[in-house]
Each structure stands twice: as structure tokens, then as C-alpha cells.
């Protein structure tokens, strides 16, 4: 199985690029809000919601890695200054690689002004109900930039299969094609 891990800050375009990549490959998109949106109505943004979210994600990766599935695209907001986030990425990589799978790391970055505009797009809001309060979502987007480091330092990702893209001025289908070509998907 192939796992394309697309990471970067909120509203950088991870899910949208993932949808475009899904269209041109045999990969299936599993964006991070699929588990969040399932659990928030019951638990809110609580530690229990995040515990279940992590468990569900790990279980899905276990099942996918053991299946005949060609591969998945997973989107993730990775706080590089939080050990828990590094541990989660290591765990899912271990699950996939432990079954002979391959991980492709794709880091997206974009200017804040572009991310603020993307935070309001109909596509994003259709797939992420918890982002529909745009004012609150924008406030959290800005707050997280002050709290966490959401893009890696140069050379920090030590994976052979790694691609970093500044997609500020690129269309999602262009970025998806760059990813497909780079990793021969």
C-alpha cells in the first residue's frame, strides 16, 4: 500500500489537493476531518474526541495496510514542536511500512493571506462543518500560528520520499499532478 501523507497548516489546501490527487490516481482520500466531523457532534473538541480520533485513524490505517488497497491519501496538521504529533506520524508510518507499504511525504505551505481566503471556500465548508463559523475558524487558524510550528525546518524531514510545495499561487490540480509525477503514482 502507498500512503501519501499531505501535511501543512490549516487552509493550505491539503484536502482540496487530496481530492484532485484522488481523481488522477487509484489512491483513496482519507482527510483528517473525516474523523473529526464524525466525533465532534458527540464529544466536542475534548480530549476524549481526540483520543477516539487517533484510535479510529490508527485502526483505519491498520485495516488499509493489511488490505489489497492500492493506497490512501491522508491529510494532517502536523505541529512540529509537539512530540505527540511526531509520535503519531511515526506510528502510522510504522503501521504502513510494517506491512511492506510505502510513505510519500508532501508538505504544503502558502502565504497567510491566501490561507485566509481558502478558509472561506465553499469546497472547504462543504466537507468541514466545524469550519463553517468562518470568523472562529480564521481566529483559530491565526492562533495556531502563534502556538505551533506548522511547517518543517529545512532538512528536518529525513525521508527519501519527500516533496515540499509552496502552493500559494498554484491550482489544486496542478499540485496534484506535481505529486503524481514526483512519486510516480
pTM, two decimals, is 0.95
Could you tell me if 9 and 115 are in contact, meaning their C-beta atoms sit under 8 angstroms apart?
Answer: yes
> How many angstroms separate the Cα of 3 from the Cα of each of 71, 141, 183?
6, 26, 11
Q: What local confidence, expressed as pLDDT, does residue 88 receive?
A: 97
The β-bridge partners of 105 are 5, 162
Distance CA 52, CA 39 (A): 8
Q: Residue 79: its pLDDT value, please?
A: 97
Give the per-residue pLDDT at 132: 85
User: What is the C-alpha separation between 80 and 77, in angstroms, rounded?
Assistant: 9
* pLDDT given for residue 18 in this prediction: 98
Asked whether 175 and 17 are in contact (CB, 8 A), the reply is yes
Q: What is the predicted pLDDT for the residue at 51?
A: 96
- Taking the C-alpha atoms of residue 155 and residue 124, their distance in angstroms, rounded to an integer, is 31
Q: Which residues of the chain have pLDDT under 50?
A: none
The pLDDT value recorded for residue 34 is 92
Give the pLDDT of residue 124. 86
Q: How far apart are CA 142 and CA 150, in angstroms?
A: 11
Amino acid at each position: 500500500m502507498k500512503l501519501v501523507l499531505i501535511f501543512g497548516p490549516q487552509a493550505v489546501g491539503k484536502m482540496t489537493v487530496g481530492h484532485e490527487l484522488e481523481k488522477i490516481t487509484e489512491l483513496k482520500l482519507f482527510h483528517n476531518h473525516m474523523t473529526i466531523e464524525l466525533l465532534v457532534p458527540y464529544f466536542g473538541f475534548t480530549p476524549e474526541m481526540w483520543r477516539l480520533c487517533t484510535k479510529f485513524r490508527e485502526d483505519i490505517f491498520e485495516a488499509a495496510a493489511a488490505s489489497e488497497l492500492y493506497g490512501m491519501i491522508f491529510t494532517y496538521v502536523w505541529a512540529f514542536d509537539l512530540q505527540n504529533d511526531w509520535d503519531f506520524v511515526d506510528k502510522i508510518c510504522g503501521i504502513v511500512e510494517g506491512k511492506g507499504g510505502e510513505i510519500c511525504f508532501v508538505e504544503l505551505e502558502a502565504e497567510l493571506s491566501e490561507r485566509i481566503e481558502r478558509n472561506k471556500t465553499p469546497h472547504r465548508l462543504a466537507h468541514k462543518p466545524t469550519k463553517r463559523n468562518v470568523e472562529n475558524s480564521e481566529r483559530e487558524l491565526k492562533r495556531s500560528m502563534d502556538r505551533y510550528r506548522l511547517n518543517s525546518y529545512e532538512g528536518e524531514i529525513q525521508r527519501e520520499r519527500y516533496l515540499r510545495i509552496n502552493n500559494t499561487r498554484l491550482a489544486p490540480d496542478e499540485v496534484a499532478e506535481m505529486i503524481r509525477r514526483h512519486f510516480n503514482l
